[in-house]
Amino acid sequence: MPLNNKKSFFSTLMSGDFGLSKTYWLYTFLPAFVMQIAMKPLEKAPLVVFGITLLYLGYAIPAIIGVWRASNKYQGRKAWVILAKIVIVIQWISIAFLAYMAINIVVYLLGRI
């Protein structure tokens, strides 16, 4: 913990302490949206996309954990909690698919050596 007893950004993010709307829209949805746009021109460079995706996942995983935890703390309409959790489950499935694809790419590349 930092000397000033404040939580770090990632600690605050993962604990859901930014609140549900801020954690979802600002720290999860917006970065994913920007990532999709930024990756479009790189489609012809799969290794670059692979590397950037791995770096992004290092951020995205704590962010989606934070959305889940923020939804557990949310005191507003129950519908937002349910919708947030549905989106998070879909994101976990997407991450599992990305991991599967990454493993296949690595195996393929190792087989070419």
pLDDT digits (tens, 9 = 90+) for 85-98: 999 999 999 889 98
Whether pLDDT at 26 is above 90: yes
Which 3 state secondary structure label does DSSP give 54? Answer: helix
How high is the pLDDT of residue 17? 96
CA 79 to the chain's CA centroid? 22
Which pLDDT tens digit goes with each residue over 58-67? 999 999 999 9
| Contact (Cβ atoms closer than 8 angstroms) between residue 60 and residue 32 | yes
Q: Is the dihedral of CA 54, 58, 61, 27 positive or negative?
A: negative
The pTM (predicted TM-score) of the whole model is: 0.82
Residue 2 pLDDT > 60 = no
